[in-house]
Structure 1
């Protein structure tokens, strides 16, 4: 059991340390909102795409064997989404709160905290598997987020056709999805390995991705929001930190997942609420204050939940 605890600390502590560095820089005035926005944009548009592209291109992982993991991830997402929708319709009164609550429960921060933790746990093999999982489930996240947040729209121009167009546009211009598609196409074609200056440059950008993203996540934390959560944000946080990982473990076991696949599923699902949930809630008229509270609380507390869950699964030989 000691080994399991050490394993959990090893995969979570580096992420917490980088987030704490970002928060420390923010408190000292060394990480302004402009810096955070620009650095986050740099990571999203350039560094993470390089990380995902070369993780897939350089790997020897048989992606046909990841189908079960991806199907389980899709099923878990739908279960969390539908369950949160039923809960919100019964217990959440205001429409502008309902979609934010639902999104806070089902949408995890796979691209930053999820991938970083998987990389700490399983190295390049886990990173490659996690990249494929993230690419597919991210598409589902965006579709479900638009559906649940659309209930507050009052614009006559906002129709299901316009929403569908927005989803297609977001997905077709998403750098992460484009990088993964490009990587799969490259591997499918009889092309020579990428070497030399191109690969070296890509490696340098990829190396920046997760550390800088975690620093930005830490610098974005609002302690006031985190320490004064509303009852509703606490309920959503419980759904994200406790309910979501339990659902993932149960469904994963039902489908026979174990070892790396179970570990990737757990770490991706158990990650805190995605940062994009705040941006999308604000853009679509949801309660952005509630979204910020959920994001802040799950980002800090959720990391400890991931550590406890990882230690337990490791101790049971399931991860």
Structure 2
């Protein structure tokens, strides 16, 4: 059991340290909001897509072996979305709160914290498997987020308008573009990228996760995090407790073990995605509620991931 605890600490502690560094630098005035905004855009538009592209394009992962994992991830996502939608419609009155609540439960931070933790746990193999998983689930996340938030979006009143909006967001998403490009590259059987292209790509990809974690830490608002509203606490319980338990149950039902169970658990157990706040604000959702959910789950979920990883590791499931 001690080995399992050490394993859990090893995969989670680096993320906490980098987030703590970002928080410390922000408190000392060494990181400005302008830097956070610009660095986040750089990570989202260039560094992270580069990391995902090279992780998939140069991987030796057999994609046919990821079908069960992806199926389990899709089922977990749809169950969380459906359950949160039912709860929101029954117990939450304001439309601008409903979509934010739902998104806070089903949409995890796979691209930053999930992928970073998987990389810490399993190295290049885990990163490749995680990138393939994220490529499919990210598309689903974006579609479901637009659906649940569009109930309060002004100016979009027709089904055609909503479909076009979803299509534009998917087509313009840098992460999806990078992953689809990598899948096409692999499907065409092109040679493995080497030389200057590979070295340049690796240098750019190397800054993605550390910089993203530092920026995430710099945006944490302790006051907001420690005094959440009732709705933010309810959503946080769904993300921190219900989502990981559901992932383990579905993974067990699908017969997942080892890296696949680890990827499913760590991706689902990650805190609410940072993009949820941006999307809620852009689509007229309750941005304060979105920020509270994001802040609280960002810190608390990491401890839940460590505890869950220790238990699963001790049981020999991941």
**1:53-202 superposed matches below 5 A:** 53-155=53-155, 157-202=156-201
CA RMSD of aligned residues (A): 0.9
Distance (whole Å) between structure 2 residues aligned to residue 158 and residue 202 of structure 1: 43
Deviation at 1:179, TM superposition (A): 1.1
Deviation at 1:151, TM superposition (A): 1.6
Deviation at 1:116, TM superposition (A): 0.1
SS of residue in 2 equivalent to 1:151: coil
Distance (whole Å) between structure 2 residues aligned to residue 192 and residue 300 of structure 1: 42
Q: Which residue of 2 aligns with 1:15?
A: 15
Distance (whole Å) between structure 2 residues aligned to residue 212 and residue 153 of structure 1: 32
Deviation at 1:89, TM superposition (A): 1.2
Deviation at 1:204, TM superposition (A): 0.3
SS of residue in 1 equivalent to 2:151: helix
SS of residue in 1 equivalent to 2:246: helix
Q: Which residue of 2 aligns with 1:221?
A: 220
Deviation at 1:176, TM superposition (A): 1.1
Judged with a 3 Å threshold, the aligned counterparts in structure 2 of structure 1 residues 152 and 6 are, in CA distance, closer, same or farther, namely same
Deviations 1:185-205 (A, max 9, x none): 112224222111111000001
Q: Which residue of 1 aligns with 2:208?
A: 209
Distance (whole Å) between structure 1 residues aligned to residue 288 and residue 189 of structure 2: 50
Q: Which residue of 2 aligns with 1:254?
A: 253
Distance (whole Å) between structure 2 residues aligned to residue 161 and residue 149 of structure 1: 16
SS of residue in 2 equivalent to 1:152: coil
Number of matched pairs: 318
Q: Which residue of 2 aligns with 1:269?
A: 268
Distance (whole Å) between structure 2 residues aligned to residue 182 and residue 154 of structure 1: 33
Q: Which residue of 2 aligns with 1:282?
A: 281
Distance (whole Å) between structure 1 residues aligned to residue 58 and residue 208 of structure 2: 17
Q: Which is further off, 128-137 or 51-60?
A: 51-60
Deviation at 1:154, TM superposition (A): 4.2
SS of residue in 1 equivalent to 2:59: coil
Deviation at 1:159, TM superposition (A): 2.4
Distance (whole Å) between structure 1 residues aligned to residue 266 and residue 68 of structure 2: 16
Deviations 1:203-239 (A, max 9, x none): 0011101000000100111112101100110000000
Deviation at 1:160, TM superposition (A): 2.3
SS of residue in 1 equivalent to 2:294: helix
Deviation at 1:153, TM superposition (A): 3.0
Deviation at 1:32, TM superposition (A): 1.0
TM-score by length of 2: 0.98
Distance (whole Å) between structure 1 residues aligned to residue 229 and residue 189 of structure 2: 55
